[in-house]
Amino acid sequence: MKNTNTWKLQDAKARLSELVRKARAGAPQTVTIHGRNAVIIADADRFELTPKKRGAASMTDFIKGSKKYRGLLKGVDLKRVRMNIAPRPIFFEEGGK
The model's pLDDT over 30-66, given as tens digits with 9 standing for 90+, comes to 999 999 999 999 998 887 777 777 765 777 777 777 8
What's the CATH number of domain 6-41, 3.40.1620.10, 3.40.50.1860, 3.40.50.920, 3.40.50.300?
3.40.1620.10
Q: How far apart are CA 28 and CA 40, in angstroms?
A: 6
**Which residues lie across from 7 on neighbouring strands?**
31
Would you give the end-to-end CA distance of the chain in angstroms?
79
Q: How confident is the model at residue 97 (pLDDT cuts 50, 70, 90)?
A: low
Of the CA atoms within 13 Å of residue 8, those in its CB half-sphere come to 6
Give every CB contact of residue 5 below 8 A, 6+ residues apart in sequence: 22, 27, 28, 29, 30
pTM for the model stands at 0.48
